[in-house]
Amino acid sequence: MKEDKLVSQEEILLQKEYMQKVKSRKGDGTQYAFVDTYGCQQNEADSEILRGMLIEMGYTLTKSEEEADVIVINTCAVREHAEMRVLGNVGQLVHTKDKKPNQIIAICGCMVQQGHMVEKIKKSYHHVNLVFGTHALYRFPELLFRVMTGKKRVFELIDSDGRIFEDMPVYRENSTKAWVSIMYGCNNFCSYCIVPYVRGRERSRRPEMIISEITKLIENGARDVTLLGQNVNSYGKDLDENIDFAELLERINAIPGEFKIRFMTSHPKDATERLFKTMAKCEKVAHHIHLPFQSGSNRILKLMNRGYTREKYAELIKCARTYMPDISFTSDVIVGFPGESNEDFDETISLVEDIGFDALFTFIYSKRKGTPAAEMEDPTTREEKGQRFDRLLKVQSKIAEKYAEELLGKTVRVLIENDEGGDVYNLVARTDTNRPIRLTGCSELVGKFVNAKIEVCSKWSMEGRIVD
């Protein structure tokens, strides 16, 4: 990686100084901070850094907007619905701020990496004190200090390809499961997607930083590590050393201890036989892959700029199953991309039937300002798109029911993630293939791998009994 992509040690130290400045300015009394997150796991991971910084600055975390002295809303821009939810909730904060006039309200993340959104907040949301885009995340302490000491609202929007920062505090609520970002940004520019515009270009963390973070996590009790990136399997392409995602998996697999390795999201264009071979070989890597196909129609895939065909996708699935017969697949689908015809949509349905996904995340196309698809003709009505969407859900639901029937009575190895309390089915565990299952047992079992017999199984949930 070129040095200029890494935030320098001096810049990090400066932010650490600001953390201390905020801490002393704030005084000794307990003050609360609330971080609310929208969007993908990568945003969740960013929020864990925001929380880590807030704790370092002397705040106590809360989940109550009324109690909070500082509220940070980490936003998503991927669909209009996500943005509407954020704006709706930010609007409501007028009332909490009325009762607590010194409350600081900050908005960060993908939504406010767009100029038109920053303008909107400037004009119509006067109770918001601080707005900063994705590229300014590591500068949160400095920006917060500026809000505390100045009289003006602070808006920080930098246009950048993005950089990487290391060595910032992270607060993880659950010590068993950990998200670890291994790369940021996206170079793919799928024609419907806003992510490359708000997250910058692909950049990978150095392998030794990733290995040392995961080693520490495992030493501290983590048993399930999910590697994150918008395009996780293109890891390493921008680094000056010879390493790809498969090699990184091998190195992580070699870290001592019993734990699971997961990753998301993979792009079909970068999924290779080598990756599947490595997954099969590395005993800690879960046999599950989230591999979004988006559409089953080659015409639409081309318009989407996805870089593969339906045939290539089916081949990949077949190849993965050759190496790992028990592998499970999940995927994302967009319904109603501009110009999608009934015939195109039939192709999506047939692909879903052919492959047999464990679960699907289905989205109705949402127009994103500044993307090429926003300029395409979109004659299909909302109602028609809704009908297609329902049809897809029904097809997938049948498949999920079939899988559920097959699982009933089987014994599977699971990791117990959490004790949610209660007399029965208090434990939440997860199968290798990333499905949640509820079990009964004591809280000492959290963080342990056990064998569980599946006794109740529907397409939504599973319940079972610990058998060892």
Q: Is residue 39 at the binding interface for ligand F3S, with CB under 6 A as the rule?
A: yes
Q: How far apart are CA 138 and CA 15, in angstroms?
A: 8
Residue 231 and residue 267 in contact, taking contact as beta carbons nearer than 8 Å: yes
Tokens describing residue 101: 């006039």
Q: Which does 196 bind (CB under 5 to 8 A by kind): ligand SF4, ligand SAH, ligand F3S, none?
A: ligand SF4
Q: How far apart are CA 274 and CA 245, in angstroms?
A: 10
Closest approach, Cβ 195 to ligand SF4, in A, equals 4
By CB under 6 A, the residues from 185 to 244 that bind ligand SF4 are: 186, 188-190, 193, 195-196, 230-231
| Nearer to ligand F3S (CB atom), residue 106 or residue 194 | 194
Q: Is residue 42 at the binding interface for ligand F3S, with CB under 6 A as the rule?
A: yes
Q: How many CA atoms lie within 13 A of 246 on its CB side?
A: 12
Q: How many residues bind ligand SF4 (CB under 6 A)?
A: 10
Tokens describing residue 38: 């929208």
Residue number with the shortest CB distance to ligand SAH?
332
| Nearer to ligand SF4 (CB atom), residue 76 or residue 450 | 76
| Nearer to ligand SAH (CB atom), residue 118 or residue 232 | 232
From the list 73, 90, 195, 414, which residue makes contact with ligand F3S (rule: CB under 6 A)? 195
Cα–chain center distance at 234: 16
Closest approach, Cβ 27 to ligand SAH, in A, equals 42
Q: Which does 189 bind (CB under 5 to 8 A by kind): ligand F3S, ligand SAH, ligand SF4, none?
A: ligand SF4
- Which three-class secondary structure state does DSSP give residue 290? strand
Q: How far apart are CA 36 and CA 157, in angstroms?
A: 20
**DSSP state letter for 287:** S
Closest approach, Cβ 20 to ligand SAH, in A, equals 37
Rounded to the nearest 10 degrees, what angle do helices 115-124 and 80-99 cross at?
30
Question: Could you please report the per-residue DSSP string of 181-193?
Answer: E-EE------TT-
Short-list 111, 91, 103, 104, CA closest to 38: 111
Short-list 462, 463, 465, CA closest to 450: 465
**DSSP state letter for 350:** H
Q: Which does 50 bind (CB under 5 to 8 A by kind): ligand F3S, ligand SF4, ligand SAH, none?
A: none
From the list 267, 290, 310, 430, which residue makes contact with ligand SF4 (rule: CB under 6 A)? 267
Question: Which residues lie near ligand SAH (CB under 6 A)?
Answer: 78-79, 192-193, 195, 230-231, 265, 267, 292, 294, 332, 334, 363, 365-366, 368
Question: Which residues lie near ligand SF4 (CB under 6 A)?
Answer: 186, 188-190, 193, 195-196, 230-231, 267
